[in-house]
Amino acid sequence: MSESKLYVNLILEMIGKIEESVQGISKKEFMEDETIQDATLMRLQVIGENIKNMPLEIKKQHEEIKWKKFEKLRNVISHKYASVNYNLIWDFIENNLEELKSGVINIK
């Protein structure tokens, strides 16, 4: 299996785990549950790391995916963990995760 397939599979696995962990919960519940917050951040970090390592040629072939947005999120989570805004994380999940999932499925 090529490295890019491993990246794609890990991204999809992490998206699935995020979807599963936030399924059926409200933003309020998310904001009150540190375990779900921590798990979500870790999974977003893994997604960003795999996107960062994805070959540039694949990113160029799929410019409809906002690669940089996920890389930047990964950097915030990794380097400014104490200042993460969980309202923004929730909004990010609601507004960007499905788009990434669709794009990565197309690559697969």
Q: Is the dihedral of CA 75, 76, 80, 81 positive or negative?
A: negative
| Residues in contact with 39: Cβ distance below 8 Å, sequence separation at least 6, in sequence order | 17, 21
State how far the Cα of 100 lies from the Cα of 48, in Å rounded to an integer.
11
Which is catalytic among the residues 44, 74, 93, 104?
74
Which is catalytic among the residues 56, 79, 82, 83?
79
65, two tokens: 């995916």
pLDDT at 79: 87
Active site residue 79: yes
Read off the pTM.
0.91
State how far the Cα of 71 lies from the Cα of 69, in Å rounded to an integer.
6
Active site residue 43: no
Please report, in tens digits, the pLDDT of each residue of the chain (108 residues total). Answer: 578 889 999 999 999 999 999 999 999 999 999 999 999 999 999 999 999 999 999 999 999 998 999 999 998 898 887 788 999 999 999 999 999 999 999 998
**Which residue from 90, 98, 104 is spatially nearest to 41, judged by alpha carbons?**
90
